[in-house]
Amino acid sequence: MLTAYPRSSEHNPDAAVWFDLLNPTEDELGQVEKSTGLSLPRAGALGEIERSSRLQRQGGALIMSTPTAVQASAGSAAMAPLGFMLTGDRLVTIRFTELVVFDTVRAQLPADQAIGGIEIFTRLCEDIVDHMADALEHLAAELGKLSQATFRQDDAKSDHGVRANLKSKAQLRQVGRLGHRLSALRDGALGLERILAFAEQFGCHDTAIEIKARLTSVRQDLKSLADYNDQLTNKVQFVLDALVGLIGIAQNDIFKVLTIVSIVGIAPTLIAGIYGMNFKNMPEYNWTYGYPYGLAVIALSGILPLIWFKFKGWF
């Protein structure tokens, strides 16, 4: 889908300042190429990871691309390429997923008069950074709730067996999703920071001081977000280590119980096996209280190890 700004230029593409291409067809790409004189990159080229492929100069135009994090199913994140072509006072954007930022910026643009492409580019970058900051704040809130749930003592006492296992699996999956989303945001912020540095170096020679100052401010905000992202990543790793440790402790408790049960059962089984042998010369068979005696010995052989383990603090 091709959207041109200002709207009055949709029937006269040569007058457009901003071409926004969403999942473009070859016909739409060709139309924009004819109007701008640029050779627009396709999806494969925008997805390349080399810096030389993401940041290029084509004559007087800047061709820039970066991965951007988008919301996927089940609260996870996915990466989608985003391309910017900045030439003179015009801007071309190519994207392959819906981004709320673009709709927000388009709605804020004045309808009566067109503004320059560098201004639109700056507004897009500012809103993308704001969106990243909101996403990090949301992730921090989720991580805080997960951390509190992980270290609450009453949970370990109230959940047992299958319920505890299901809860641990859900928490581990949530940690994995949080880590993946943080990684996606980190990649998007790094790519956007490179784009801003490239645009400042090669595309802002004739722009107003205000635009340069705003781009510099956006870069500084991205560095702050990168530091905050690193902090959250470390916290995710800490919560993951804690969960794995708690799961290991729970497994040790299970093995401890099995060990106690197996040891406690050895002596009674041995005694019952001895008195279960059908030999003639076993005097206990002829005692009046032989049967209660055998039961008492079996019970005592099981109780004494339990008292010993309790004294040692095993349970």
What residues does each domain of the chain span?
Answer: 2-252, 253-311
- Highest mean pLDDT among 109-118, 136-145, 196-205 belongs to 136-145
Question: Is pLDDT of 183 > 70?
Answer: yes
Instruction: Please tell me the distance from the alpha carbon of residue 115 to that of residue 5, in angstroms, as a whole number.
Output: 9
The pTM of this model reads 0.74
Per the CB < 8 A criterion, the answer to whether 84 and 91 are in contact is yes
- pLDDT tens figures, 28-50: 888 888 877 778 877 777 776 66
Rounded alpha-carbon distances, angstroms, from residue 271 to 257, 260, 281, 285, 297: 22, 18, 17, 14, 8
Domain 253-311 class?
mainly alpha
Domains 2-252 and 253-311 share a fold: no
Question: Is pLDDT of 13 > 80?
Answer: no
Q: Side chain identity at 192, as an amino acid letter?
A: L
Both structure tokens of 169? 């699996």
φ and ψ of 256, to 5 deg: -65, -45
Question: Is pLDDT of 185 > 80?
Answer: yes
Question: Is pLDDT of 158 > 70?
Answer: no
**What is 2-252's CATH number, 3.40.1410.10, 3.30.465.10, 3.60.70.12, 3.30.460.20?**
3.30.460.20
Instruction: Please tell me the distance from the alpha carbon of residue 295 to that of residue 265, in angstroms, as a whole number.
Output: 14
- pLDDT tens figures, 70-111: 655 555 566 788 888 888 788 888 888 888 888 888 888 887
Q: Side chain identity at 146, as an amino acid letter?
A: L
φ and ψ of 312, to 5 deg: -80, -5
